[in-house]
Amino acid sequence: MAALRGVDLRLDEGDFLTLFGPNGAGKTTLIRILATLARPTAGHVRIGGLEVRQGTAEVRRWIGVVSHQTFLYGDLTAEENLLLYARLYGLPDARTRAAQALQRVALGHRASDPVRTLSRGMQQRVAIARAVLHGPKILLLDEPYSGLDQHAAASLTATLQEMASLGRTVLMATHDLEQGLQLASRVAILSGGRLAHEGRAAGLDAAGFRRLYMDVVEGGAA
């Protein structure tokens, strides 16, 4: 059974698209494909005009990814993880960049702690620091608020707002209708592997969008 079917989506520079959908709708699969973590069996994916299959290494320099996997090494400290990624990206002044990224997610005081000793929420915060470390043009997020406490969630929201103000392109999958709608310039609903709705977020209120979401999802399941 295909996880995605006929998805046709274009994001312009500076768009903030929030992707909604029930469990099993295909959100994670779509983000994994865009992040070059999975290969589609059909169709084309282009990022910055480059076919992803042909320019994986270059594309990965343009994107930052926050997913269910942290892509962190448990036996390394938070700082060591970020230093490793900074060097992989060829960033100058790696130690300063790593320190700034940890401060951004309010974990500067845990820089020397092995990641495996951190709570799940703290590990997610280090993963967010990793994702934005190299100043990516595109940020892909799959349920990034999962496991975050109120303070960490507010910090993530501020980071995403900063990314948007800098003209970065963001695609975020979330179950949180209100949070997702608050940040988005565009919204989309994925249901049954198909793009069931896509449009501008301006003018949408949470209650009205919730009704639309339920109509789309329940209609798709009928």
Please give the pLDDT value at position 220: 60
CA distances to 25, 65, 173, 204 from 68, rounded to whole Å, are: 16, 10, 11, 29
Output the pTM of the full model.
0.90
Please give the pLDDT value at position 51: 83
Establish how many alpha carbons lie within 13 A of residue 78's alpha carbon, considering only the half-sphere containing its beta carbon: 28
For residue 6 the two structure tokens come to 């006929």
For residue 101 the two structure tokens come to 């990224």
Neighbours of 14 (CB within 10 A): 15
15-54: b (≥16 Cβ within 10 Å) or e: bbbbbbbbeebbbbbbbbbbbbbeebeeeebebeeeebee
For each of the domains in the chain, give its residue range(s) and CATH number, in order of start: 16-221 (3.40.50.300)
Report yes or no: 33 and 39 within 8 Å, Cβ to Cβ: yes
Spatial CA neighbour of 105 closest among 149, 171, 60: 149
Residue ranges, the chain, pLDDT below 50 = 222
